[in-house]
Structure 1
Amino acid sequence: MSVQLNVIDTDIFNQNSKLITLCFSMEKISIKELIETRVMKEFNIEEEHKLKRADNSFIPTAKELKLNPAPSDPQQDVEIHKDKAITSFLKNEYFIFINDVQKTDIEERILLSPTTRVTFLKLTPLIGG
């Protein structure tokens, strides 16, 4: 059974809120899996935007490539972002609330349903910040 989960991304001032939908093939996941899926979704969105911008951009010269090297392997990049997000969670740089209850154990497993409320309360950006 696949579960679609709406995740609210917000900051401590509740000024920059956005809704993100994540899909899970399991009903029970760990907080770590939630973080990794969340980062992967954001990374994929960012990559799509880059591709759209690239369609309208110019081809860089050799000198420009030397100054601004081509990006590394996207799969490697996403793993770096996942690790950073997990480390940030462990350092309390952002918080996760499931049905208004703060979760602190990264290995804790949570039961998902379409009514599960998930909030990422960011004190620092998960990606790109």
Structure 2
Amino acid sequence: MKTITINDETAVGKILNQIEIEVRNETITVRDLIKARIYTEVEAYNQKPDNRFFGLIQPTMIEAILNNSETKQKRQIDAEKQFYIALDAFTKNGFFLLVDNYQPDSLDEEILLTDSTTVSFIKLTPLVGG
């Protein structure tokens, strides 16, 4: 097992969030890397008492409203649903990855992981009127 550190970064390189994921093999597809990241952060969120979720893919507006209901009962986030939203966002350029300063562009592209591999997720914000 390898432990990989994943950074959420701004376009100028400022680290906003950092998580660690466990991977089994030396190679992993972009799709499986995204899946490992999503499932790790959703599992961590679902197990903690805090209601705030800082993952790559945010819950929908309805989920957010339901989580802030008067009962303050925290709802569980569906990891599989978040995974498919993340895949869609990747294919529509909602975010991109940098793996050791290389930008993979396909979900099926394989990445070689070493002890020094750095992975960054950079979320893109569409410009209004652009």
Specify if TM > 0.5.
Answer: yes
Asked whether 1:117 is paired with 2:109, we answer no
Q: Distance in 1 between matches of 2:74 and 2:39?
A: 21
Distance 1:13 1:52, change over 3 A: same
Report the CA distance between 1:48 and its aligned residue.
Answer: 2.1
RMSD: 2.3
Q: Given the alignment of the two structures, is residue 37 of structure 1 paired with residue 36 of structure 2, yes or no?
A: yes
For residues 26-105 of structure 1, the aligned pairs below 5 Å read 26-49=25-48, 51=49, 71=75, 77-105=78-106
* Mapped partners of 1:114, 1:105: distance in 2: 23
Amino acid at match of 1:34: L
1:29-84: per-residue Cα shift (whole Å, max 9, x none)? 100000001111110121122x466xxxxxxxxxx77xx99847x5xx11100000
Whether 1:17 and 2:16 are equivalent positions in the alignment is: yes
Structure 1 residue ranges, 4+ long, deviating more than 3 angstroms after superposition: 13-16, 68-72
Unaligned runs of 5+ in 2: 52-69, 126-130
Query: Retained in 1: the 8 A contact 2:7–2:15?
Result: no
Q: Secondary structure at the match of 1:92?
A: coil
Structure 1 vs Structure 2: percent identity of aligned residues?
A: 25
Separation (CA, whole Å) in 2 of partners of 1:27 and 1:115: 12
Counterpart secondary structure, 1:35: helix
Count of residues in correspondence between the two structures: 107
**Offset, 1:15:** 4.5
Equivalent position amino acid for 2:44 in 1: I
Name which structure has the greater RCO, CA cutoff 8 Å, separation 6+: 1
Distance in 1, matches of 2:111 and 2:92, equals 21
Amino acid at match of 1:7: I
Change (3 A) 1:27 1:16: closer
